[in-house]
């Protein structure tokens, strides 16, 4: 974390959090005093050099807060008299968001696995097995010859043949694991196992469907989320909703000769896991792209163009800020 502060009628401070920063360079392009410079984005993303993605010149920075207002991942924080401008009515507000409906969520963990920023954590409690099956099982220890056929066969690892003395054994069934499949009963050479499955017979009367459900908690950490849309795309029950910071498209220059697997700079810097190299050419999946432009900046062939048509930033009251911010959508 690096901060720039200046005291006057107001105390202003700008703080860059490199852990949140994705190296997109939007702040660099928007700074009215050209006080922000991009670091070596690709070597940083690949972990080859230990530097911050951006450098802010504290002598020329005018502490206007424009960079913090447009940063799509909130990596820059601007405070006036210790108050974040994001909480002030006079400053722009992002209409970007990611939400997971905890009521609709079935705790399948698809989003947790897919999230490229590890921003989602699912903690779940499975239903108890005894609430899902009904039955009875008993081993006649006198008939049992301790052959362990049942132990080897049991698909649920519910049976153990324990040695209790020099020549004595006991065959124990763990009823938390047994699902009364009756494989042991059928295979037992001495008919020592008595078992019955009544799950089907009593499924409508003795089993409670409320107890079949997996319960749990799902937490989406807004500090790591980049609103890429993976959770929304992958969720099988439409419980995730994402509003991205920008709308528009990515265009590959048709003349460009993509070096694919020998370069893959775009893939390494993409914070959204939206890039893949397919048949030697970079491909960007628009479903997951947030149009941040990090890939376009590192492409040595300069073959990627980000065409933003809309920025979901509201309440831009200053005309000069409006002009400046419109450069993100017009490219000028």
Partner 1 sequence: MPVIIDTEKCGKIENCPGEGLCIKLCEEDALIEEAGDVVIISENCNDCELCIMNCPNQAISKVD
Check if the beta carbon of residue 98 is closer than 8 Å to that of residue 116. no
281 sits near partner 1 (criterion: CB under 8 A): no
State in angstroms the smallest separation of the CB of 129 from partner 1: 50
- Please give the backbone phi and psi of residue 37, each rounded to the nearest 5 degrees, phi first: -120, 140
Nearer Cβ to partner 1 (49/237): 49
Stretch 300-329: interaction string toward partner 1, x if CB under 8 A: xx----------------------------
State in angstroms the smallest separation of the CB of 298 from partner 1: 8
87 DSSP assignment: G
Q: Do the bridges between strand 281-284 and strand 275-278 make them parallel or antiparallel, or are there none, so unpaired?
A: antiparallel
Nearer Cβ to partner 1 (119/294): 294
Which string of DSSP letters, residue by residue, matches 15-65? EE-TTT-----HHHHH-TT--EEE--HHHHHTTSS---SEEE-TTT-----
Q: Which of 233, 245, 196 is nearest to 97 (CA)?
A: 245
State in angstroms the smallest separation of the CB of 7 from partner 1: 34
Residue 252, number of CB atoms within 10 A of its CB: 16
Binds partner 1 by CB under 8 A, chosen from 4, 13, 17, 40:
40
State in angstroms the smallest separation of the CB of 262 from partner 1: 4
Give, for 135, the enclosing helix (H) or strand (E). Answer: strand 135-139
State in angstroms the smallest separation of the CB of 73 from partner 1: 23
Quote the distance between the C-alpha of residue 145 and its chain's center: 53
- Please give the backbone phi and psi of residue 295, each rounded to the nearest 5 degrees, phi first: -65, -40
Q: Which stretch binds partner 1 (CB under 8 A): 7-15, 193-201, 256-264, 305-313?
A: 256-264
Q: Which stretch binds partner 1 (CB under 8 A): 3-11, 19-27, 53-61, 254-262?
A: 254-262
Binds partner 1 by CB under 8 A, chosen from 119, 242, 298, 311:
298
Q: Which stretch binds partner 1 (CB under 8 A): 24-32, 38-46, 92-100, 103-111?
A: 38-46
Number of residues this chain uses to bind partner 1 (CB under 8 A): 16
49 sits near partner 1 (criterion: CB under 8 A): yes
CA distance 69 to 287: 25
Nearer Cβ to partner 1 (74/268): 268
Binds partner 1 by CB under 8 A, chosen from 265, 270, 274, 295:
265
Per-residue burial over 271-280, b if 16 or more Cβ lie within 10 Å, else e, is bbbbbebeee
Q: Report how far apart the first and last C-alpha atoms of the chain are (Å, whole number).
A: 31
Nearer Cβ to partner 1 (23/245): 23
267 sits near partner 1 (criterion: CB under 8 A): no
Which string of DSSP letters, residue by residue, matches 29-41? HH-TT--EEE--H
Give me the residues that bind partner 1 (CB under 8 A), please: 40, 42-43, 46, 48-49, 257, 259, 261-265, 298, 300-301
């Amino acid at each position: 974390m690096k901060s720039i502060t200046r005291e006057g009628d107001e105390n202003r401070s700008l703080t860059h959090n490199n852990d949140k920063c994705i190296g997109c360079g939007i702040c660099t392009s928007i700074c009215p005093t050209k006080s922000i410079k991009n670091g070596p984005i690709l070597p940083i993303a690949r972990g080859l050099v230990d530097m911050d993605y951006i450098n802010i010149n504290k002598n020329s920075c005018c502490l206007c807060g424009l960079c913090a207002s447009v940063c799509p991942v909130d990596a820059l924080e601007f405070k006036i008299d210790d108050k974040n401008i994001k909480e002030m009515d006079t400053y722009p507000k992002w209409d970007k968001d990611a939400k997971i409906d905890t009521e609709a969520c079935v705790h399948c963990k698809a989003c947790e696995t897919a999230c490229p920023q590890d921003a989602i954590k699912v903690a779940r409690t499975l239903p108890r097995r005894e609430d899902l099956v009904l039955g009875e099982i008993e081993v006649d220890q006198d008939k049992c010859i301790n052959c362990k056929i049942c132990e080897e066969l049991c698909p649920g690892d519910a049976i153990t043949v324990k040695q209790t003395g020099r020549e004595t054994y006991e065959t124990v069934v763990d009823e938390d694991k047994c699902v009364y499949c009756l494989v042991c009963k059928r295979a037992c050479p001495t008919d020592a196992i008595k078992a019955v499955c009544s799950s089907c017979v009593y499924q409508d009367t003795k089993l409670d469907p409320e107890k079949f459900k997996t319960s749990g908690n799902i937490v989406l950490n807004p500090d790591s989320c980049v609103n890429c849309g993976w959770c929304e795309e992958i969720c099988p029950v439409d419980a995730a909703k994402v509003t991205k910071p920008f709308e528009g498209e990515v265009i590959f220059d048709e003349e460009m000769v993509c070096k694919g697997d020998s370069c893959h700079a775009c893939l390494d810097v993409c914070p959204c896991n939206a890039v893949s190299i397919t048949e030697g050419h970079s491909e960007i999946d628009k479903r997951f792209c947030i149009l941040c432009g990090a890939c376009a900046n590192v492409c040595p062939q300069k073959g990627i163009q980000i065409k933003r048509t809309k920025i979901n930033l509201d309440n831009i009251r200053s005309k000069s800020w409006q002009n400046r911010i419109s450069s993100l959508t017009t490219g000028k």
